């Protein structure tokens, strides 16, 4: 059974500082996704990571994938208030779980001035 | 272009009643997914449709839950004899094919009194 674990569950950030969210998964993955969810809103796609060593960056967010360690990280550089949201990683593994996405529990991020 | 749409956005019902939730996927997307987001369980897969293939119903929590997809487009998720534990946000997603990125709709917030 594919399991996806995120940590921390909650992250209180200070503006201007750097932070990392971790996503571990239990079996081989085909694709790994990062989503952002604002309160009361749906999921917004941030990154899709396909292969070992993949790194993608958008603004202050950078995601990376290590398939050997079964680990993805979402790094936030110089946090700003607008980044306050809940972040989810999700794994697509056809072999382990078919065509559905298996989600981590989410990391609630609150950026304080 | 238009994204995934869902209706209603909010639904309040009494325990024991049946409800229908609707999803309009992005035009041309062959794969359609239903997920449920609740406080205690996080984001859970419910059911997946791909073209004319038999749906993957492995995530449906009980036989009170059913879904259909007519004409390869619109999907309806039906919950019969609703229970309080069915209260959640029901999210629909679609993708070009099962290996492509899933795009999520705004969700239907279901409250069972």
pLDDT in tens, B13-25: 999 999 999 999 9
Q: Which residue has the higher pLDDT, B98 or A109?
A: A109
What is the residue-wise DSSP string for A35-52? EEE-TT--EEEEEEE-ST
**Is residue B45 packed enough to be buried (19+ CB in 10 Å), middle (13-18) or exposed (0-12)?**
buried
Say yes or no: B30 contacts chain A, CB-CB below 8 A.
no
pLDDT, averaged across chain A: 94
Residues A70-90 have a mean pLDDT of 97
CB B33 within 8 A of CB B84: no
Q: B103 to chain A: which residues are within 8 Å by CB?
A: 45
Contacting residues for A47 by C-beta, under 8 A, at least 6 apart: A33, A34, A56, A58, A61, A63, A74
Cα gap B69→B25, rounded to integer Å: 10
pLDDT for B51 equals 86
pLDDT for A28 equals 87
Contacts across the A-B interface (CB distance below 8 Å): 47
Residues A80-95 have a mean pLDDT of 95
* CB-nearest partner of A100 from B48, B99, B104: B48
Contacting residues for B63 by C-beta, under 8 A, at least 6 apart: none
Cα gap B101→B104, rounded to integer Å: 10
Contacting residues for A70 by C-beta, under 8 A, at least 6 apart: A24, A25, A26, A27, A28, A29
Which residue of chain A has the CA closest to B33?
A100
pLDDT in tens, B36-81: 999 877 899 999 999 888 899 999 999 999 999 988 799 999 999 9
pLDDT at B1 exceeding the cut of 60: no
Q: Do B104 and A42 touch (CB under 8 A)?
A: yes
pLDDT for B42 equals 87
Taking the CA of residue A1 and the nearest CA in chain B, the distance in Å comes to 13
Q: B43 to chain A: which residues are within 8 Å by CB?
A: 88, 90, 103, 106
Tell which residue, B14, B22, B37, has the closest CA to residue B70. Answer: B22
Taking the CA of residue A105 and the nearest CA in chain B, the distance in Å comes to 6
CA dist list (Å): A22 to A8, A87, B65: 7, 11, 34
Cα gap B23→B56, rounded to integer Å: 17
Backbone angles phi, psi at A102, to 5 degrees: -110, 120
Q: Do A103 and B43 touch (CB under 8 A)?
A: yes
**Model confidence band, residue A67 (pLDDT cutoffs 50, 70, 90):** very high
**Model confidence band, residue A98 (pLDDT cutoffs 50, 70, 90):** confident
Q: Is A98 left (phi over 0), alpha (psi -120 to 50) or beta?
A: left
Window 1-20 of B, Cβ < 8 Å to A: none
Residues A44-55 have a mean pLDDT of 92
């Amino acid at each position: 059974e594919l399991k996806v674990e995120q940590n921390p569950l909650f992250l209180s950030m200070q503006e201007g500082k750097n932070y990392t969210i971790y996503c571990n998964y239990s079996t081989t993955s085909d694709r790994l996704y990062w989503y952002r969810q604002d309160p009361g809103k749906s999921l917004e796609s941030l990154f899709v990571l396909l292969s070992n060593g993949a790194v993608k960056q958008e603004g202050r967010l950078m995601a990376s994938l290590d398939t050997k360690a079964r680990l993805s990280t979402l790094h936030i550089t110089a946090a700003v208030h607008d980044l306050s949201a809940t972040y989810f990683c999700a794994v697509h593994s056809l072999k382990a779980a078919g065509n559905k996405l298996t989600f981590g529990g989410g990391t609630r991020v609150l950026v304080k001035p | 272009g238009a994204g995934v749409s869902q209706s209603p956005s909010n639904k309040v019902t009494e325990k024991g009643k049946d409800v229908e939730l609707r999803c309009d996927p992005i035009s041309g997307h062959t794969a359609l997914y239903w997920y449920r987001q609740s406080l205690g369980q996080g984001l859970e897969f419910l059911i997946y449709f791909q073209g004319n293939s038999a749906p993957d119903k492995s995530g449906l929590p009980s036989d009170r839950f059913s879904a259909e997809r007519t004409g390869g487009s619109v999907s309806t998720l039906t919950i019969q004899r609703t229970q309080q534990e069915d209260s959640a946000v029901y999210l629909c997603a679609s993708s070009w094919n099962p290996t492509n990125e899933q795009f999520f709709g705004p969700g239907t917030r279901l409250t069972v009194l």
